[in-house]
Structure 1
């Protein structure tokens, strides 16, 4: 069981056990109170929350395509319909008696609990295309079939529970038709198993924890104990408020918190998407404007006659400007969710292709870095590959991203002319080396250059 889902689920189970034990073991607590108004309010609240969360899950399914989201939406929709909504429908069709008005909501609730349990076991699976439409209409088909069957059997359905409320509210009254008690037991088992499974399979998602799924564990734990209380103290009296009603409403309150966090996450992602789209627009502007113009200047400069050294300096300046512009395009137009190895490979490939050099890569995709580190590593990669080709006269460069002594390491190797790092720093200033070293130190990394004239160069950053 993951830490992200175990603590709230444990608290949900602890609360359910504590309330049930207190009712069973303390003669001074009553399991039912006469309050018709409050009973109606709680029923309306539970139905509203169930339908809201079902709607949010359908929205998630439209984006993720996960079977889990669709089954959860179906299950919660049936649980919501089994409340006031179904009661109103039964009244309209004349089936709101003590038989059809009891058995149909109970049956619909069992199907809803079974769908919740099935959802907890599907995790990230996706349904086959042919099942999309049938699963979406499953709740409505269930209710329709239930109404038809209830109408057909309306005269032969058994009495679920005596109509007279219990005289004492201090002791369990496990009574009623065996089918009613079995339905409560099955529903409780489904919710309990779903609670444990959701807690065990809760996983982070992009942009943070999946709070809605994380809170399903405690929500269904409380729902399970609500059904246990209904089993001990059957609740079919709208004028009485039972401990099962309170536990059920508490479970929906937990779902409401999850729904609020889901809505907040959605709008946060919308804002991030808007920012990313704007960044991509700026990246396109840079690419179509500055980068194209710099490329044209470089091409024209290479054909000019005149002092070779001056032309070489202008070309070098153009190359640096192109690197800066392309780095800005990458920083603006790319998502931070891309694997680090993929980003570094793309940066090195852009430089190598410009000089018609070959590139070999050996990348560990499990290595990650934060945004600042990624930016610095990209710039170091570009500079090291450019230096290997332009100054080292190497036609082949090797890029490696791996782990060394429990630390992450980036290496750029070539088989070019090599150089004396001490001499370069002393006589030429070593601007490129100094820049790479400063970038490495900004990410609290160690920068090393291993090079010998005639034997190639290895630039490494370990962080």
Structure 2
């Protein structure tokens, strides 16, 4: 994201410098007012959203970031005052934004450069009052100075003025400081975005880069008039729009995390209910069969086998409910087949490539296929060794389950007596979408292969 945004910003800056005058320059108080309003609203909105993030994290970085954005928002709002005709208000609108903008930029740079640290709980409650206090002090001081401050008419409107023609050193210093602060923040946030999985940081880097380029244009072609609209304003608004996009992505991720947490909690609740209810009842039924086995031993054996299968499935569901939603496919497959191997005393041979990935629906289907194939090998094939392979080759990803059991004739079994397990595996494989193949012969073991 940083490279294309910076490339576009650099091209615009080079075009402005090469032209020797402002690109898109024209006198439009209404357009300038619209952009200032957009910038102010976005800065205040993003600072409010970062405030919520700060309340959750307690991070010093978030605290400095929200305060810096708040100062920038107030500075942009203050520029609207330059459209007023009162001398005192005009001076306030001209001289209030620069110090607030410098302070906001320095706070953002500090958020990017200072080491990560948590702040005290009491500090979280007092994150916003200092902003209002500082703004109030600036306003009082500027109103007190009043007519002693230079007016815009005395500085010149700045139209077409090169850097050397600027008439007030204070404004140039403010531009240099904000340019340096945004540039440092852009570099620092970009480096942090590579090291941390943080959506907002990924957008702060390019946003600060555009802010730095906008300040560069303002520095080369300073303007003290509020009636003029030109390319520097476009880059500055682009900076705030990128901040808005980053804040939107942050909100989206937050609510996604909340939904995932709610689902995980519901899964844990279901797992507790299953453990305390269904599993206990199944275990009781299985234990009571011993008392009636003498009446009809064959039927009792079939019921006991069904009870074992039900207990096995219930335990598998219990483990699945407690499993993390983003568990790697290799770990999920290994966990499922190891349970079977331990229960039935089967030797396992695992060749699982941890880099093979699958989404949650595919992972569930593949684990069920691996489990069903391993159970069939033990229950119907009498296998003593089961091999599981998970990998990727030129034809795609694959899952292979092989055994040394008695085997069978797949064509005859499918035509005359289609087992539900085979049908289930075939349907799950088709839904991946993928292909299902079973190779077996009497006395030669069985190999089940799924490709997707």
TM-score, normalization by structure 2: 0.71
Q: What is the aligned residue count?
A: 436
2:179 is the alignment partner of 1:188: yes
Contact conserved, 2:189 with 2:205, CA < 8 A, in 1?
Answer: yes
Matches within 5 A, 1:405-444: 405=394, 407-414=396-403, 418-422=405-409, 425-426=412-413, 429-444=418-433
Contact conserved, 1:116 with 1:191, CA < 8 A, in 2?
Answer: no
Does the C-alpha gap of structure 1 residues 302 and 9 become closer, same or farther in structure 2, counting only changes over 3 Å? Answer: farther
Residue 376 of structure 1, CA deviation: 1.6
Does the C-alpha gap of structure 1 residues 131 and 280 become closer, same or farther in structure 2, counting only changes over 3 Å? Answer: closer
Task: Flag structure 2 segments of 5+ consecutive residues without an equivalent.
Answer: 82-90
Give the aligned partner of residue 318 of structure 1. 307
Give the aligned partner of residue 252 of structure 1. 240
Residue 108 of structure 1, CA deviation: 1.0
Task: Flag structure 1 segments of 5+ consecutive residues without an equivalent.
Answer: 89-95, 120-125
Give the aligned partner of residue 123 of structure 1. none
Please give the alpha-carbon distance, in whole angstroms, between the structure 1 residues aligned to 2:130 and 2:215.
25
Counterpart secondary structure, 1:408? strand
Matches within 5 A, 1:336-347: 336-347=325-336
Residue 381 of structure 1, CA deviation: 1.9
2:286 is the alignment partner of 1:298: yes
Please give the alpha-carbon distance, in whole angstroms, between the structure 1 residues aligned to 2:265 and 2:13.
47
Please give the alpha-carbon distance, in whole angstroms, between the structure 2 residues aligned to 1:22 and 1:330.
68
Please give the alpha-carbon distance, in whole angstroms, between the structure 2 residues aligned to 1:214 and 1:56.
16
Contact conserved, 2:436 with 2:451, CA < 8 A, in 1?
Answer: yes
Residue 459 of structure 1, CA deviation: 3.8
Counterpart secondary structure, 2:21? helix
Which of residues 226, 237, 240 in structure 1 aligns to 2:214?
226
Residue 201 of structure 1, CA deviation: 7.4
Residue 111 of structure 1, CA deviation: 1.0
Which of residues 391, 394, 397 in structure 2 aligns to 1:402?
391
Please give the alpha-carbon distance, in whole angstroms, between the structure 2 residues aligned to 1:402 and 1:68.
42
Does the C-alpha gap of structure 1 residues 462 and 178 become closer, same or farther in structure 2, counting only changes over 3 Å? Answer: same
Coordinate RMSD, CA, aligned: 5.1
Give the aligned partner of residue 93 of structure 1. none
Give the aligned partner of residue 105 of structure 1. 100
2:163 is the alignment partner of 1:175: no
Does the C-alpha gap of structure 1 residues 376 and 201 become closer, same or farther in structure 2, counting only changes over 3 Å? Answer: same
Does the C-alpha gap of structure 1 residues 444 and 249 become closer, same or farther in structure 2, counting only changes over 3 Å? Answer: closer
Which of residues 21, 28, 31 in structure 2 aligns to 1:24?
21
TM-score, normalization by structure 1: 0.69
Contact conserved, 2:409 with 2:441, CA < 8 A, in 1?
Answer: no
Matches within 5 A, 1:55-454: 55-60=48-53, 72-73=65-66, 75-80=68-73, 82=75, 104-105=99-100, 107-115=102-110, 118=113, 127-128=116-117, 164-166=154-156, 169-172=159-162, 174-176=165-167, 178=169, 180-192=171-183, 194-195=185-186, 210=199, 212-235=200-223, 240-241=227-228, 243=230, 244-245=232-233, 247-301=235-289, 304-305=292-293, 306-326=295-315, 334-355=323-344, 361-393=350-382, 397-405=386-394, 407-414=396-403, 418-422=405-409, 425-426=412-413, 429-449=418-438
Give the aligned partner of residue 54 of structure 1. 47
Question: Residues 250-307 of structure 1: CA distance to partner in whole angstroms, max 9, x if unpaired?
Answer: 4323423443444344445444544554455445444443343333323333564144
Residue 105 of structure 1, CA deviation: 2.8
Does the C-alpha gap of structure 1 residues 298 and 355 become closer, same or farther in structure 2, counting only changes over 3 Å? Answer: farther
Please give the alpha-carbon distance, in whole angstroms, between the structure 1 residues aligned to 2:412 and 2:8.
62
Question: Residues 17-59 of structure 1: CA distance to partner in whole angstroms, max 9, x if unpaired?
Answer: 5567667166x944x65x4x87677556534422332332344
Question: Residues 170-219 of structure 1: CA distance to partner in whole angstroms, max 9, x if unpaired?
Answer: 4435414556424423432443465577678767999xx94x55544553
Give the aligned partner of residue 122 of structure 1. none
Please give the alpha-carbon distance, in whole angstroms, between the structure 1 residues aligned to 2:347 and 2:289.
25
Structure 1 or 2: more helix by fraction: 2
